[in-house]
A and B are shown apart, each in its own frame.
Chain A
Amino acid sequence: MIKPTTPIKAESRNLNFFYNGGNHALKSVSMPLYENKITALIGPSGCGKSTFLRCFNRMHDLYPGNKYQGEIVMHPDNTNILEQGVDPIEVRMRISMVFQKPNPFPKSIYENVAYGLRVRGENNKRMLDDKVEEALKGAALWNEAKDRLQDLAFNLSGGQQQRLCIARALATDPEIMLFDEPTSALDPIATANIEELMSELKQKLTILVVTHNMQQAARVSDYTAYMYLGELMEYDDTNTIFTRPSRKETEDYITGKFG
């Protein structure tokens, strides 16, 4: 099946997740994220894609009563990041996230990008300037934003705001980036920009992306996972999934017969 030619950056092992109130949203999910690869998560609405993604940066810790079971092992640390003794803040500093809806802070463009560095205590102006520029270039926003860095971030267009959120996540040099339907609120051109960006970003980091858009999964990802009702139904390299999936359900979903 899959011949791992690249090292694994992180992997979930028998991951179960329970929402407060007992909803068993993930059922024994095991899958790898290969380093410098893009892994796409697809599946019908409510199957647990966001839930799975948000386990990787311990986002579920923000709400009381949620429970993880199983492991997400991060390499090269070889540590289960769901362990009690692991500090979620340290995890989030290395695994950053871009949300479905752009959510810039009520600050200037510059301060939005500098935010992650500032909360890490970085206040050196030169250092911040350099990092902000680098991150905005990395998110293909520099040309549009360089003359208005002090503008409020809300004045950007939706697509620009989403690239700003990517720049914000990039500024702290994360090892893994999580994208939860990053283009669902954007037009085709902005979507193409972001897809191109993701392909460039994988030189530097590992990406996990949730998408409802089959073409997008086929275009950008190296590996694809199909989830259904909290279970991982099929995982393979993207080419295989889209040309000869081994399960009927996967094929039905991809071809639009279901979902």
Chain B
Amino acid sequence: MNTATTMLEQSINLTISPRLAKNIRRNIKERIIEFMLMLAALSAVFTTLSIVGVLLYESLSFFKTVSVVDFFTDTQWTPLFEDAHYGILPLVSGTLTTSAVALAVTIPIGTIAAIYLSEFASHKTREIVKPILELLVGVPTIVFGYFALLFLTPILQKIFPDLPGFNMLSAGIVMGIMIVPYIASVAEDAMRAVPMSMREGSYAMGATRFQTAVRVVTPAAISGIVAAYILGISRAVGETMVVAVAAGQQPIVSFNPMESAATITAFIVQVAMGDLPHGSIGYQSIFAAGLVLLMMTLCFNILGHMLRKKYHERY
């Protein structure tokens, strides 16, 4: 009690010594740097927000003509026909089916490639394989589209004679192969970030390399691996060229990959490259479709975020 009062009295007489005072010049410099960094970050946020804004605005005029209920329940999508229907379901089913095929291909291959590169490949092998994978990322997607249409589809038709020339199977498989490098590279980074001490712990128990990779390193890196999968899903859902070229343009509600179907993105390019007048309902429909696409990717991202939180890694 006594000491507290003396301290209080003393503090009244305290001044700020110039050597400890705030340095104005340094502070201003810091502020300017901070401001510029914020501008850079904001430009990305601003772009995203404007995209959402435009999508919402144009979709709003679309939904003045077409009811939301019809949009989500009608099973026909024929905005360019005389008898126009605006049911998004056929495009959603096409998108989901091609993406599912792609994921069925890309998740096993991408994961195995990541495990191989991170846990088995020698330094030299990794130095050779990684650039090749990165090269694959640089190939324009339209090339993959024609690869699916002109190379893979004929081969698949030998196995399944009823397969139409445009089909979701071929497009999905090629899309999956296309995404492998993304998944492999992100998942590999996550696995390599697992500390060596954890691997040593496993080896010291008499585990083999394979057991260590699958039972210790993979679960330790699971959050990064899930992030890689989410990235893959987003890529698959948003992929345009491969499906536009190889999957066909008929919007039908079907989850059978052996059929031909249109996806949301394929429809958007089809309309965007056509000559529909601005402001027409057909033109506005691509914004509504784009909005649905955005929501789908958003859902997957949120799901991925939840999964990552659930399996949050701690070393």
Interface residue ranges, A against B (CB under 8 Å): 57, 59, 62, 64, 89-90, 92-93, 96-97, 99, 101, 103-107, 115-116, 118-120, 154, 165, 168-169, 172
Interchain CB contact under 8 A, A105 and B204:
no
Which one of B35-43, B194-202, B241-249, B293-301 contacts A? B194-202
A20 CB to closest chain B CB, in angstroms? 12
Query: B215-228 vs A: 1/0 string, CB under 8 Å?
Result: 11001101000000
Contact pick for B205, options A62, A101, A119, A154, CB 8 Å: A119
16 contacts between A and B (CB under 8 A): A59-B200, A59-B203, A62-B199, A97-B204, A99-B201, A103-B200, A105-B202, A105-B216, A105-B219, A106-B222, A106-B314, A116-B205, A116-B206, A119-B202, A154-B314, A172-B206
Interchain CB contact under 8 A, A99 and B205:
no
Residues of B within 8 A of A107 (CB): 219
Known: A59-B203, A92-B206. 15 other contacts (CB 8 A): A59-B200, A62-B203, A64-B122, A92-B205, A99-B200, A103-B197, A104-B201, A105-B202, A106-B219, A115-B202, A115-B205, A118-B215, A119-B206, A169-B205, A172-B205
Residues of B within 8 A of A93 (CB): 206
Residues of A within 8 A of B211 (CB): 119
Interchain CB contact under 8 A, A103 and B203:
no
Residues of B within 8 A of A97 (CB): 204
Chain A CB within 10 Å, residue with most, of B199, B202, B206, B219: B206
Residues of A within 8 A of B220 (CB): 105-106
Chain A residue at minimum C-beta to C-beta distance from B207? A119
A237 CB to closest chain B CB, in angstroms? 29
Residues of B within 8 A of A103 (CB): 195, 197-198, 200-201
Q: Which 3 residue pairs of A and B lie closest in terms of their CB atoms, listed nearest first? A: A93-B206, A116-B205, A103-B201
Interchain CB contact under 8 A, B198 and A120:
no
Instruction: Tally the A-B contacts, defined by beta carbons under 8 Å.
Output: 69
Question: Is B313 an interface position by the 8 A CB rule?
Answer: yes
Residues of B within 8 A of A165 (CB): 201
Cα separation A56 to B198 with both chains bound (whole Å): 19
Interchain CB contact under 8 A, A106 and B313:
yes
Residues of B within 8 A of A90 (CB): 206
Question: Is B27 an interface position by the 8 A CB rule?
Answer: no
Question: Is B208 an interface position by the 8 A CB rule?
Answer: yes
Interchain CB contact under 8 A, B201 and A106:
no
Cα separation A252 to B207 with both chains bound (whole Å): 42
Cα separation A28 to B248 with both chains bound (whole Å): 74
Interchain CB contact under 8 A, B198 and A92:
no
Interchain CB contact under 8 A, A59 and B313:
no
Q: DSSP class of B's interface residues: helix, strand, loop or mixed? A: helix
Cα separation A172 to B207 with both chains bound (whole Å): 12
Residues of B within 8 A of A168 (CB): 201, 205
Residues of B within 8 A of A104 (CB): 201
Interchain CB contact under 8 A, B197 and A101:
yes
Cα separation A92 to B208 with both chains bound (whole Å): 11
Cα separation A90 to B195 with both chains bound (whole Å): 24
Chain A residue at minimum C-beta to C-beta distance from B201? A103
Contact pick for B198, options A64, A96, A105, A116, CB 8 Å: A105
B window 17-42: CB within 8 A of A = none
Cα separation A116 to B202 with both chains bound (whole Å): 8
Cα separation A92 to B197 with both chains bound (whole Å): 16
B32 CB to closest chain A CB, in angstroms? 42
Interchain CB contact under 8 A, B197 and A99:
yes
Residues of A within 8 A of B197 (CB): 99, 101, 103
B window 299-315: CB within 8 A of A = 313-314
B214 CB to closest chain A CB, in angstroms? 11
Interchain CB contact under 8 A, A120 and B201:
no
A24 CB to closest chain B CB, in angstroms? 23
Residues of A within 8 A of B216 (CB): 105-106
Cα separation A101 to B315 with both chains bound (whole Å): 11
Chain A CB within 10 Å, residue with most, of B195, B198, B208: B198
Cα separation A57 to B204 with both chains bound (whole Å): 7
Cα separation A97 to B195 with both chains bound (whole Å): 17
Cα separation A106 to B215 with both chains bound (whole Å): 9
